[in-house]
A = this chain, B = another copy of it.
């Protein structure tokens, strides 16, 4: 019995290597690598939030574009106080720069050297970005030095999913005005998305309302612990709901899929 790509699992970990080999050999293969973190997200969201969100978004984008999804990076770079509350908080287990770069470099170079033509690193943890960029740059160098990759010139795209939230969506999700991505940690965006996608992992009864964190314009290390709200969230999840989550999810995955199709010339 033969099957079509559409019937195959979108998650590469669920696919066998022979089908993978054939899929790559057909040309134009795109693999999305979700990047997350293992990080405290307050009392109402699970510690795996970032990887869960980036993986779920990756799967939806893959479903719309014919791409496939690699296993996520489940641990991310150190949580910073101004974007994630800080690396001192219990429940935040982080990689240092060298570890994250090394891991991502190997994985990206591995796919490229097997003929995958396009890699999309879909980031869901703010602090990861620059280290994933370094990994992508080094991986491309590795593949070149090894004489490598498939026929076509490979490319790596790197993005954080929130950069695809539109102005219109922002206006709906934050009717009182968007407070800025910097304090969106455990706040309305992540909580709403989780309520839509993984409601069984959210406990809104434990959510706490509190003013948004007011942090200085610099980073300070060691952190002054009391600058992070006690919950560990930088802004409260007040007003989060599954409908906002659905809106965010649908708009972002649609826009992301559209951009990928346009950029990579895939159908």
**What is the CB-to-nearest-CB distance from A133 to chain B, in angstroms, rounded to a whole number?**
6
With A14-B201, A47-B20 already in contact, the answer to whether A99 and B90 are too (CB < 8 A) is no
A249 proximity list for chain B (CB < 8 A): none
Q: Nearest residue in B to A141 (C-beta to C-beta)?
A: B146
Q: Contact: B47 with A15, CB < 8 Å?
A: yes
> CB of A43 within 8 A of chain B?
yes
Q: Contact: B93 with A99, CB < 8 Å?
A: no
> CB of A40 within 8 A of chain B?
yes
Name A153's contact: one of B19, B91, B147, B222 (CB within 8 Å). Answer: B222
Interface size, A (range):
35 or more
Q: Contact: B145 with A96, CB < 8 Å?
A: no
Stretch at the interface among A156-164, A167-175, A235-243: A156-164
A74 CA to B15 CA, complexed, in Å: 15
Name A133's contact: one of B98, B129, B163, B219 (CB within 8 Å). Answer: B219
A41 proximity list for chain B (CB < 8 A): 16-17
**What is the CB-to-nearest-CB distance from A125 to chain B, in angstroms, rounded to a whole number?**
12
A1 proximity list for chain B (CB < 8 A): 205
Q: A15-B46, A99-B105 are in contact. List 11 more A-B contacts (CB 8 A).
A: A16-B42, A18-B91, A38-B70, A77-B130, A87-B137, A94-B106, A95-B102, A97-B130, A98-B101, A137-B221, A155-B221
> CB of A197 within 8 A of chain B?
no
Q: Nearest residue in B to A127 (C-beta to C-beta)?
A: B130
